[in-house]
Structure 1
Amino acid sequence: MTTGPWRRGGRATTNLALLLLLACVTVAVRSIPAALAQATVSTSTVAGVDFTTFSFPGFDKNPTDLTLWGNASVNQNALQITPDTGNNANSFLVDQAGRAFYATPFTLWAANASSSNSSAPGGRRVASFSTVFKANLYRQNQAVKGEGLAFVVASGNGGQPPGSYGGYLGLTNASTDGLAANGFVAVELDTVKQPYDPDDNHVGLDLNGVRSVSAVPLAPYGIQLAPNDTSSSGDQMVWVDYNGTARHVRVYMSANGSSDKPATAVLNASLDLSEYLLGNDAYFGFSASTGVGYQLNCVLMWNMTVEVLHGARVPSKKLSGWKLGLAIGVPCAAGLALGLLAGLYLMKKRRKVGDDPSSVLHNNAIDLRSIPGVPKEFDYKELRKGTDGFDDRTKLGQGGYGVVYRATVPGDGGQSMEVAVKQFTGANTQGQEDFLAELSIINRLRHRNLVKLVGWCHQDGVLLLVYDYMPHGSLDRHLFGGKDAPALDWRQRYNVVADVASALNYLHHEFDQTVIHRDIKPSNIMLDSSFHARLGDFGLARALESDKTSYTDKVGVPGTLGYIAPECFHTGRATRESDVFGFGAVILEIVCGRRVSCSNPAGCSQLLEWVWRLHGAGRVLEAVDPRLAAGEYDEDEAERLLLLGLACSHPNPRQRPKAQAILQNLQTRSVPPLLVPVSKPVFMWPVPLADGEEEEDETQTFMSRSGVTSSDVSSSSNYPYTWSSGYTTQTFQLSSEVQNAAGRDVSTV
């Protein structure tokens, strides 16, 4: 048996103990009797290292040492994570999810425990463990699969979140996928290809979400999950070995259900469990789901051996039920309180026109340090040192708000970490408003496709926000950066569109308030180490009251030409529909590799109109970035994205798809591409009503109440509806009639 180099600090005796114990576990699996029983629990000591082992050679009908959730059950001596095939498919087997956990938690890391890995990095000791289980993935309907099974190490042993069927494997849902609050690590056996998956037959390592940080196709190893073969049982033997000293995980799988452990791991990855678990204690178990397709996802036997950490003085905490909700809810509530207080502060400050703008935040502002849940406050000297005195060589980008720098600062456990530091221009009133507006919104948002706020700093009149550093920079750089930036391949481009759509759906429909971003463009979309997208720069973003649908700024239309919806120049209002318009422009840029304002062939001056003409001529695929040669992209996916980009860019805001429909169109291949007119519709204002449709659009009621007509706006010399080059965030002047009608103060409508 091969386990890899388990060595640190010259602890050869301990390493030998681990090797011997794991070897014993493997041998024991081969001789497991077919008896049915509760888990057999035992302890052992090898070379001074203590271990706890539990073993399920089979599963009792009413197991007291397992916690079952959702559709999980015990049937026919097996742990059925999703419903078995004896049920009616149409009423019970599709779109289901379940979980099963060993009921007793294990202490998996501690900062003050004696163990075999006392010289571990960061002062933390992390337990090693090894598990082996036999999974049965069997599809009754031989034509389709659905969806897969995962071995899970979780901070709590609660049930699966709502909406976690389909590709979410019972682990997360569209709102929570990727959030640190999930607190789990999983090894997935995935049988359905999602846009972010390599194929429909792979093993993956999942960290707080189902987009695997490492995914390996199994076909080269002769392994087929849920095989399309009636002569095959669908059984798979799986070994997961985790080395807490080396912070490394290896997954082994045997072909044809053999009980002989292979010498080569199918998945080999670095992993520090202590970085992902919410507490010191964790639960081991399984999670699975079905979708529009279904299969049997069950476990036939399970052995688990875990290293015991002695002297861990951190009390054991079960993060389940209301306790887990409290652990997550309190910080969120505190963040909401911060946002509300910051919002009240802004409203109060705007009314005090005579105040000294340079001293408002410094003297009269709320004390951010006193608010529970506020992110870390950095010391200015620390950030200055980390940026080499805010040296231009550390500059990552620049906009109307100020400059972003790359910095190296001390992190938890004494380790350094890289961050992005956003320095707001000056300490004037506008800079303070931008600082507090961005802080009050981004601090409350929690989504894997949003740039995470790490902390803040306000010293000597300098305003700074600190974000996670994105190693691959902005999407803008990869699309238009020239030879210095590598072009994205097709899979990366498709994933970026899906990532931003997920973020937009969260902002528009899943957060407790509707958030309008108002500046969606490639330079505000960042790429992490895996080239997944995170939407950033919330300097212009605004959260709406629960009964409001739009936001009107003081003067003009903030944003960037080419991404501003045409109706905004008439109303001065930002809506979810105007965000979708900007996203449509981004989609076209991603697929075409050209700016919205670039000069295009065939005499077109706008990317949008050029793509629409190609669509009308039945040659829309000619718009695909020429850097993607034939065969290097999926033509069906390319057409889907181009039509989606046109649909989002529809001149009539009522005809644009909502973020929910956009996300569904990207994630579900069975959903047909959006229907788009063969020629670009003419922009009309006010938007004409369809037959039987009542006048409910807030932009029309605004025009009618104010007495402003489309001719008033169109004839104004200040009307700015033209596409120009330029790529910076600006505020564009409205006509004087609209300014007077809207008022010069900030208001929500």
Structure 2
Amino acid sequence: MGAKVWQLRVVVVVVGMGIVAAGAAEFAYDGFGGAGLALDGMATVTPAGLLQLTNDTTMPKGHAFHPEPVTFRRPVGSAGGGATAAAAMSSFSTTFVFAIVSEFLDLSTSGFAFLAAPATDLSTAMPNQYLGMFNGTDNGDPRNRIFAVEFDTVRNPEFADINNNHVGVDVNSLNSSAAEAAGYYDDATGAFRNLSLISREPMQVWVDYDAATAEITVAMAPARSPRPKRPLLSKRIDLSTVITDTAYVGFSSASSIVLVKHYVLGWSFRLDGEAPALNYAKLPKLPRIGSKPPSRALTIALPIAAAAAALAALVVGLLLLRRRLRYAELREDWEVEFGPQRFAFKDLYDATGGFKDKWMLGAGGFGRVYKGVLPGPGTPIAVKKVSHHSRQGMKEFVAEVVSIGHFRHRNLVQLLGYCRRKGELLLVYDYMPYGSLDKYLHGRADEPVLGWTQRLHIIRGVAAGLLYMHEDWKQVVIHRDIKASNVLLDGDMNGRLGDFGLARLHDHGADPQSTRVVGTMGYLAPELVRTGKATTLSDVFAFGVFLLEVACGRRPVEEDADTDTGDCFLLVDWVLGHWRNGSITSAVDARLGSHYDAAEVDLVLRLGLACLHPSPAARPSMRRVTQYLDGSAPLPELAATYMSFNSFVGMERYRPLFDSWSVRQTTAAMSVATMSDIGLSGGR
């Protein structure tokens, strides 16, 4: 087990006064015990000698490389005895046996890839669909200098994947240069035979590059089968423009919410020749999947156990019946029209592991949020549990939930539907793998710092989502709770506005009805505190606070830690002071250092102040906001007259509340809405 062969063969020929060196690197691993691979992240070698690229740890990705770099370019002597030599790309061949073992027979996470990279440090790469090789910024960048063959078990539309079971040739990008469904061509009949990458069965792959023709060929077949004569795919790509003179060869994979293990059983490689054949007799065995065969004693005891099991099943059945009657769903006649948007509680219970604490994503003033995976399609979801103890206003509230569920915008979290039980309302959303934005703005010191470019991208996305809600949908939707903790980040780190529990709808051209003050302290427009009437312009005000929060990396309201008076730090006053002093860009998040565009920071902060005008009529609409952010319209200069007093935007109205509620910097935000405010225990 774990036999290793590693050879470096060099032939030197003297021609006149020039030296021509031709080299061939060769290695073979029949198992990886003692192989000395360069490993990081999740990658490990099991005691049995298997290379395991993914596991059930919290590490997001894993890589395994041959410990020494391979010299892909060989010097070629010049004619006439000159000493000048040019580097020519070498042909190469590799073969390996792998197996993908999923927790579920019909569901998998993203796959893995064989790759040649200029270095083993891929720390900037992202997990999930990026396979630990690229990220949302550098995908497609020719400076990556990475060649890979991917074996992907998830269809990612953003990379134009052909299906969820394919093999692709990747050059500096996960948008494959060539791709085919996984399988092989039968030598006898020529028919194509499908191979399921997640079948838990070992398969062998052959990858060859002919430098003379610049052609890559990939073939695969079940393990121990001969190599098919016809390759699965072939593609002409000049790798001399991709692979550096020396590069590391190995494997890369990344994790997701589904437990999947990627194994490599054996691997060989050779320059300028066919890769050495693997010795199947020495390859390590895959771990047992499922239970062991029943023993003889078990066979004898089976009738007794069956009778006991039947009795136990009867008892369990009675308990389940009692539980079902006690915790049955609450369903009324008027909900029939909302059928497609209503989820069965059992499905949500199973999806979230019974709403256990380990599945909880977070908790707020309106309930807890849990991660889940829907049975069947395997769709990841987030489920918010909200308490309610009254039927008043529930019909109207559910109707609005269902209406919002028809949103279709890339910068809004998709509200998939709801479920009702006695004392509980469950709202089901798309799952956002990177959580809420405030974690990156106000998290611990060891949390990664969002760069300015990424922050501006998120700001523009949220603005586009709000414009859709205010003007482009069939009704006007007022969010009423815009803040960083309600902006979630999807798998591509795009900002999506979510949590529509406080949203209100009305027809275009109609005035919104008055209601109680709801929202979060620090984001409330002064007219909302005075009149209780939420409008699109009160949303614009909250968006202005959000702009300052993202650019400055500080909460709208913080307890002033530098004094003993208990006074509150108000972000708006602070930025306004910098603006008055002609140094508004000095308010930018100090963690960014000098890595930001001063003109863009100036635009965002001044636009934030413009959105915070105490007069609603003077604030820009969200359409104008998006035009300012896109540069299609110049932002007007701010007038100094309306920003010349300390109680800007009516913050003095809030100070008694701050004093009585003792705002803490460690507290994410304070909601001033109650369940009655959203119609769950009173009128709307």
Normalised by the size of structure 2, how large is the TM-score?
0.49
